[in-house]
Amino acid sequence: MTAIAPEAVNLRTTPASAQRIWRVVRLNLVNKGTTIWVPAMIMGFIWLVNYLIWWIIWAATPVAERPHAMDGTQWSGGGSYIFVYMLVVGIQVISMTFPFALGYSVTRRDFWLGSALTFVMLSAGYSIGFTVLSFIEQWTNGWGLGGHLFTSVYFGDGGFWERLFIVFVAMTFFFFIGATSGTLFMRWRVNGLLIAGALLALVIVGAVALITFTQSWPAIGDWFTRMGPTGVVAWLLLPTAIAALAGYFVLRRSTPKS
Amino acid sequence: MSTTLTPTSIAPTVQVEGLTKRFGSFTAIDDVTFSVKPNKIYGLLGRNGAGKTTIMQLLTGQDFATDGDIRVFGEGPVENARVLQNICFIKESQRYPDDFQAKHVFRSAPWFFENWDAEFAERLIRDFRLPLNRRIKKLSRGQLSAVGVIVGLASRAPLTFFDEPYLGLDAVARQIFYDRLLEDYAEHPRTVILSTHLIDEVSNLLEHVIVIDQGRILMDEDAEAMRGAATTVVGQRRAVDAFVDGHEVLHREGIGGLASVTVAALSPSQRAEAAAAGLELSPVSLQQLIVRKTNVAATEFEQSA
């Protein structure tokens, strides 16, 4: 190999697909502040504010009525913050990290697969934390005041795996809905979002019409009761999978506008 | 074609044929053909909006061609990790994640660029006095350019693009870029494509020049050849007019009885003839030449329209 032509170029070896995908995961997580510390801190702050409110209710309510008054906190929506945050993270991964990753010569395929893996990893981490907190909340009888934040009705009262499953699935749902909305915007700008939103609205109205005309509302109610939180949430896997697949194909032909 | 990407490639770094890119009814790149030889510094020159960034986005697979063929290291670049692995292209308008500080860029870059030289990057950061802990959104235009320049230099990609690298950089920083690029290029030869509209600033750096205007290639020539490609003839109007008769005139201006006319290259005997007629000859800088050429193209375009 001594007779290399003067104009020959030493090219780099191409890393394996798994390695290329993994570096996208690392890129998505390079700023831990955004993906880990900030949401954890805000969640902590929400907990603190809730705790203070519980304490006010607890202190202002006669002893006999306290259990009843604190019961209402099981409808607390404070825990939903984290899911909306993840929706925004999903959007930003496409709107900001994707154009940047193209500058690092990442393929769209590797970027989507790496980001999907990032979403699954973050969902796993957060759902474990969330579930552990829900048990602490339960064991301490609502942080000593009977309050509910991590054990609100939406997350069910099943065992460890059931709670973990609900939070995990809900979280991946929000990540992928956010990211796929991001790809629609990246490829077709506002029109993409408008048309996708219009189609979704039509599908929902159509479904409502179908249910109403066939007088199936009681059956739907039964279905929700029968499925329970775990069963209903399991059905979220379907739109999540559709979003993940659609996002991949939309992104493959997307170009950031400068 | 996958066998062409062995550790060494003797294919032209870039080969483009009949490349066209339309955005709706607007033709940004119009049936362009050119090639880029390995290990040279190319200038991609043209006015704002001429199509420089679009060409670079097409070469790096960031955008999709409407028509035509692009080969980079012998293969199509779109979604091709084997090709993209060898490319670094930080756009002038590169978006960074809002929460990124410069340090996040330099922490993550080595994961993507196999030849990344961390020491070199640190030296450049010091040279450009780039604050690492400030959000990229808050950096000045010059500091933002420095981020792209540092990534481009330290990544040592076999095909490196610099898109308007001078934007916002002060004279000292521009000189640093110029010096570091030449130093490092000498030690680690690679293909560099540098786009700019500040032509005189880079003209000494370039080995080959591609000028584009309104999506078409106007010139594709060796830089050395281009420097002697035109001459300005100055003197009495009548003498100048007599002399340039029959020459390709690129530009003409005059005050009173004096005329200054830019013509295509002159042979030694023609030069002697001009001197005998009492005319002054002066070389035309790359920038002047390109301004003249693009103006000619504009008037031709107007006449044909």
Over range B135-147, report the average pLDDT.
95
How much is the ipTM here? 0.88
**Do residues A253 and A191 make contact, with C-beta atoms less than 8 angstroms apart?**
no
B291: Cβ contacts below 8 Å, ≥ 6 apart: none
User: Which residue's structure tokens are 């395929």?
Assistant: A109
Chain B 34-73, CB below 8 Å of chain A: which residues? Answer: 37-39, 53, 57, 60-64, 73
Domain residue ranges in chain A = 28-202+229-251
Of A84, A92, A120, nearest to A244 by C-alpha is A120
Topology of B2-225 in CATH? Rossmann fold (3.40.50)
Q: Quick one: CA torsion of B56, B60, B63, B65, rounded to 10 degrees? A: 80
Asked whether the beta carbons of residue A255 and residue B81 sit closer than 8 angstroms, the reply is no
**Do residues B150 and B128 make contact, with C-beta atoms less than 8 angstroms apart?**
yes
Within 10 A of B237 (CB to CB), how many other CB atoms are there? 15
Q: A–B: how many Cβ contacts below 8 A?
A: 122
Beta strands in B63-190, from DSSP E residues, in sequence order: 67-72, 87-90, 159-163
Topology of B227-304 in CATH? Alpha-Beta Plaits (3.30.70)
Q: DSSP letter at A35?
A: I
| A29–B contact, CB cutoff 8 A | no
Domain residue ranges in chain B = 2-225, 227-304
Q: Which stretch of DSSP H or E encloses residue B35? A: strand B26-36
Asked whether the beta carbons of residue B112 and residue A23 sit closer than 8 angstroms, the reply is yes
d(CA A5, CA A2): 9
d(CA A197, CA A62): 49
Asked whether the beta carbons of residue A20 and residue B81 sit closer than 8 angstroms, the reply is yes
Asked whether the beta carbons of residue A96 and residue B109 sit closer than 8 angstroms, the reply is no
| B6–A contact, CB cutoff 8 A | yes
Q: What pairs with residue B163 in β-bridges?
A: B195
Provide DSSP, B48-77.
TTSSHHHHHHHHTTSS--SEEEEEETTB--
d(CA B234, CA B83): 51
Residue-wise pLDDT for B178-231, tens only, equals 999 999 999 999 999 999 888 888 888 999 999 999 999 999 999 988 887 888
pLDDT band at A1 (very low <50, low <70, confident <90, very high): very low
**Do residues B208 and B218 make contact, with C-beta atoms less than 8 angstroms apart?**
no
d(CA B254, CA B262): 11
Residue-wise pLDDT for A140-159, tens only, equals 988 988 888 888 877 777 88
Q: Which of B5, B81, B93 is nearest residue A107 as measured by Cβ atoms?
A: B81
Q: pTM value?
A: 0.90
Q: Which of A7, A23, A106 is nearest residue B10 as measured by Cβ atoms?
A: A7
Q: Which residue of B has its CA nearest to A16?
A: B81
pLDDT of B234: 92
pLDDT band at B7 (very low <50, low <70, confident <90, very high): low
| B80–A contact, CB cutoff 8 A | yes
**A17-28 vs A108-139: helix axis angle to the nearest 10?**
50
Q: Which tokens is B142 given?
A: 């010059």
Residue-wise pLDDT for B104-122, tens only, equals 999 999 999 999 999 999 9
